């Protein structure tokens, strides 16, 4: 299976003096070019700098296109069979010049991540959104990051997120974490596999008046049987966390399904799940039925 690998730090903001609605990069390109298809650039940095907000950067062939920081809404597109790498300026490891996060979504708007492998950062993907926003992750792998694999965190308004067909494995702290301090968060995880993370899945509201809804569909949380949490959810006093689980498996964790906090926390199973083989916590707090 061909993997298109992008390692980048994403920050969406206003842009100045851009011109292209679609820019092109190629292994034979030059950064003195205008990044059009007949005259492609050599690096993502140059292509993004001459692109409008919301533009596409298209990769023409397999090569390394340099680390980049993105300050606008951009799609980086690698056709199937093309390997577009972002490598450090020195050394052999693939990373984002020592950046703490592979992909960071820091403001309102939308971010779409597809067919990416994000590995060996402090955090893989983080969405710390101060305003309403949307994040979609599809067909990706987030692994071997020191702390969190994917972290969604809202502070104002409502943030929605969707994760589909994604592997989250061997991250030191959380695999997938949904957390809010002031706003509301809605997360849908479908066909997600979380394996051997410190916590496979965590949903937590930290202040009164906030809500989180996390839905796991056809997903799994698998540990090594030592210290991992499969699915953990909690709410501060006056807050509410709701987790719905359908057609999913939680097994081989030290703690399977657990709750915490003084608020209202519900972890609901649809009756078609497998929750067994964990040290403790092999039952949901309640059930729900399909409608």
pLDDT digits (tens, 9 = 90+) for 83-130: 665 543 332 223 444 457 777 777 667 777 777 777 878 888 888 776
Q: Are residues 181 and 55 in the same domain?
A: no
Q: Are residues 52 and 175 in the same domain?
A: no
Q: Are residues 136 and 202 in the same domain?
A: yes
Mean pLDDT of 38-49: 91
Cα Rg of the chain (Å, integer): 20
Would you tell me how many other CB atoms lie within 10 Å of the CB of residue 91? 9
Tokens of 288: 């729900």
Q: Are residues 80 and 109 in the same domain?
A: no
Model pLDDT, residue 132: 76
Model pLDDT, residue 275: 97
Alpha carbons 197 and 221: distance in angstroms, whole number: 9
Alpha-carbon separation of residue 257 from 9, 150, 281 (angstroms): 33, 20, 5
> What is residue 127's three-state secondary structure?
strand
Domain-located, residue 6: no
Contact criterion met (CB below 8 Å) for 48 and 57: yes
Model pLDDT, residue 84: 61
- Domain limit, last residue, from 75, 94, 113: 94
Domain-located, residue 208: yes
Domain-located, residue 78: yes
Q: Are residues 60 and 112 in the same domain?
A: no
Model pLDDT, residue 5: 43
Q: Are residues 82 and 113 in the same domain?
A: no
Is the model more confident about 18 or about 67? Answer: 67
Q: Are residues 76 and 106 in the same domain?
A: no
Q: Are residues 36 and 154 in the same domain?
A: no
Q: Are residues 261 and 289 in the same domain?
A: yes
What is the share, in percent, of the chain residues with pLDDT greater than 90?
52
Domain-located, residue 4: no
- Domain limit, last residue, from 94, 115, 133: 94
Into how many domains does the chain fold? 2
- Among 97-101, 197-201, 268-272, 282-286, whose mean pLDDT is lowest? 97-101
Domain-located, residue 8: no
Residue 56 is part of which domain span?
13-94
Q: Are residues 75 and 210 in the same domain?
A: no
Q: Predicted confidence band at 176 (pLDDT cuts at 50, 70, 90)?
A: very high
Domain-located, residue 250: yes
Angle at 174 between CA 149 and CA 67, to 5 degrees: 25
Q: Are residues 257 and 113 in the same domain?
A: yes
Q: Are residues 25 and 148 in the same domain?
A: no
């Amino acid at each position: 299976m061909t993997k298109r690998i992008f390692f980048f730090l994403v920050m969406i903001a206003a842009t100045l003096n851009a011109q292209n609605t679609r820019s092109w990069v190629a292994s034979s390109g030059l950064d003195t070019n205008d990044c059009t298809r007949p005259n492609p650039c050599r690096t993502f940095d140059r292509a993004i700098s001459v692109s409008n907000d919301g533009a596409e950067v298209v990769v023409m062939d397999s090569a390394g296109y340099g680390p980049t920081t993105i300050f606008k809404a951009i799609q980086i597109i690698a056709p199937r069979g093309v390997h577009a790498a972002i490598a450090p300026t020195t050394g052999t490891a693939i990373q984002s010049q020592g950046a703490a996060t592979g992909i960071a979504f820091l403001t309102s708007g939308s971010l779409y991540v597809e067919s990416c492998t994000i590995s060996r950062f402090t955090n893989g993907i983080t969405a710390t959104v101060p305003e309403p926003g949307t994040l979609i992750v599809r067909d990706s792998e987030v692994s071997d990051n020191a702390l969190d694999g994917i972290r969604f965190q809202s502070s104002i308004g409502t943030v929605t997120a969707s994760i589909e067909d994604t592997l989250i494995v061997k991250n030191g702290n959380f695999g997938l974490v949904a957390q809010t301090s002031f706003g509301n968060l809605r997360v849908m995880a479908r066909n997600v596999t979380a394996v051997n993370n410190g916590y496979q899945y965590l949903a937590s509201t930290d202040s009164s008046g906030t809500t989180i809804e996390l839905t796991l569909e056809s997903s799994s949380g698998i540990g090594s049987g030592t210290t991992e949490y499969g699915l953990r959810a909690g709410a501060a006093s006056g807050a509410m966390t709701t987790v719905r689980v359908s057609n999913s498996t939680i097994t081989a964790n030290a703690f399977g399904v657990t709750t915490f906090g003084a608020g209202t926390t519900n972890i609901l199973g649809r009756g078609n799940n497998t929750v067994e083989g964990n040290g403790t916590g092999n039952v949901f707090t309640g059930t729900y039925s399909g409608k």
